[in-house]
Amino acid sequence: RKGNFEHFMQKEIHEQPDSLTMTMRGRLIRGGEQKAKGILLGGLKDHLKTMRRSRRILFIGCGTSYNAALAARPVVEELSGIPVTMEIASDLLDRQGPIYREDTAIFVSQSGETADTLQALEYAKSNGALCVGITNTVGSAIARGTHCGIHLNAGCEIGVASTKAYTSQIAVIVMLALALGDDSLSTQQRPNAIMDNLYNLPSKVRDVLKLDKDMKELAALLMDEQSLLVFGRGYNYATALECALKVKEVSLMHAEGIVAGEMKHGPLALVDETLPIIVIATRDASLNKQQSVIQQLKARKGRLIVMCTEGDAEFMCPDRTCRIIEVPKVHDCLQPIINIVPLQLLAYHLTVFRGFNVDQPRNLAKSVTTQ
């Protein structure tokens, strides 16, 4: 069942052009030239109006599923105009955080069985919120327990580390943002550009997968390190968290994802000439800020690996002291889907070099059904 691949995680990383195609099939509607384009999310059609009227959207999940919602949060805020809050399921339960009838609570879970997320769903339902499920498992407890939902259609994910479900979750939430935005999407430039970019996304993911060899080389360089920092911001704050989570859980190397705006508030103290640091600095509205982060890290002799947009290597690191990962450019809100792919490959190769179990990391289970 692994085909030409050695591990399920590797297979699932490489499957992403296809899993994304499946996720978008039948949902991204293209008319003829100059005709309306739109988003069709069948499972939500009776509830979109209520969602548009809600006072707040809450995303609730754990681990990678939480990170996926975090990656898509900016575009949901932008297109819906509704405030969005993020909740780690266990933390919401620990605090018994307030949830109201006017809220839409969106539960993101690959397995649809995660105990914390499921309990948070019961809690939100009992408080009267509209509950929406985004899962990859038809008939799962979360799919059954929510009022409505969207199925990921990413195909069965076997590796314990979630990879293709992550990119499909982001794609689904971007489509949800478009659907929430407006009925007359076709007349607006930005939603149109996002939809065009969604069409081309699988081929861009195919391109970025060509970095496999480079990521293997990078993994060989980093395999004996104790620790890795990953800086991201804006759309790619979640990419930093998700890269660190992947590296930690499969390669068993300590890694920390940091929102770059917090660098000066503590993490900068760690920087020296030995600790490897990945800085995600692909083109978007925060490029200038990330450039200045790179300069400040360089001033402290940081050992930098910079992820930038294709063609930007010279511009991002004129003195060529950084190692560069160049990735294809897509619409800013979809860039996290591209950017995570080489980092998934890095986590995979690190694990193989370090001799650990890729598909079943120590102490972890694919679906966490206990609290």
Binding of residue 256 to ligand F6R (CB under 6 A): no
Contact indicator for 119, 62 with CB cutoff of 8 Å: no
Residues 343-362 that bind ligand F6R (CB under 6 A): none
DSSP string, 359-371: SS-TT--SS----
Total of residues contacting ligand F6R (CB under 6 A): 15
- Of 75, 174, 46, 67, the C-alpha closest to 110 is 67
**Radius of gyration for the alpha carbons in the chain, expressed in angstroms and rounded:** 20
> For ligand F6R, which stretch binds (CB under 6 A), given 105-113, 120-128, 147-155, 179-187?
105-113
Residue recorded with tokens 């978007």: 284
Determine if residue 228 is left, alpha or beta; phi over 0 gives left, psi from -120 to 50 gives alpha, anything else beta: beta
Please state the closest distance from residue 158 (CB atom) to ligand F6R, in A. Answer: 11
**Considering beta carbons, is residue 28 or 161 the nearer one to ligand F6R?**
161
Is 12 buried (19+), middle (13-18) or exposed (0-12) by CB count in 10 A? buried
SS3 328: coil
The Cβ of residue 295 has, within 10 Å, a number of other Cβ atoms equal to 9
Binding of residue 168 to ligand F6R (CB under 6 A): no
Name the residue number minimizing CB distance to ligand F6R: 63
> For ligand F6R, which stretch binds (CB under 6 A), given 57-65, 75-83, 252-260, 337-345?
57-65
**Considering beta carbons, is residue 249 or 312 the nearer one to ligand F6R?**
249
Please state the closest distance from residue 162 (CB atom) to ligand F6R, in A. Answer: 4
Binding of residue 367 to ligand F6R (CB under 6 A): yes
**Considering beta carbons, is residue 172 or 293 the nearer one to ligand F6R?**
172
> For ligand F6R, which stretch binds (CB under 6 A), given 109-117, 147-155, 298-306, 322-330?
109-117
**Considering beta carbons, is residue 63 or 202 the nearer one to ligand F6R?**
63
Binding of residue 167 to ligand F6R (CB under 6 A): no
Kindly give, in sequence order, each residue whose CB lies less than 8 Å from that of residue 64, ignoring residues fewer than 6 positions away: 110, 161, 162, 165, 166, 242, 245
Please state the closest distance from residue 80 (CB atom) to ligand F6R, in A. Answer: 23
SS3 57: strand
Binding of residue 117 to ligand F6R (CB under 6 A): yes
Q: How far is it, in rounded angstroms, from Cα 154 to Cα 352?
A: 25
Binding of residue 88 to ligand F6R (CB under 6 A): no
Q: Which of 87, 249, 256, 312 binds ligand F6R (CB under 6 A)?
A: 249
Residues 61-80 that bind ligand F6R (CB under 6 A): 62-65
Angle CA(336)–CA(113)–CA(94) in degrees, nearest 5? 80
Site string for ligand F6R, 283-322 (x = CB under 6 A): ----------------------------------------
Binding of residue 140 to ligand F6R (CB under 6 A): no
Contact indicator for 217, 349 with CB cutoff of 8 Å: no
Please state the closest distance from residue 314 (CB atom) to ligand F6R, in A. Answer: 35
Q: How far is it, in rounded angstroms, from Cα 18 to Cα 23?
A: 9
Alpha-helix runs per DSSP H in the chain = 8-14, 16-24, 48-53, 63-80, 89-95, 115-126, 141-145, 164-181, 189-208, 212-222, 237-246, 287-299, 313-316, 335-354
Please state the closest distance from residue 225 (CB atom) to ligand F6R, in A. Answer: 21
Binding of residue 368 to ligand F6R (CB under 6 A): yes
Please state the closest distance from residue 111 (CB atom) to ligand F6R, in A. Answer: 3
Residues 173-232 that bind ligand F6R (CB under 6 A): none
Residue 251 is classified by DSSP as I
Q: What is the largest CA-CA distance in the chain?
A: 58
Positions touching ligand F6R (CB under 6 A) are 62-65, 109-111, 114, 117, 161-162, 245, 249, 367-368
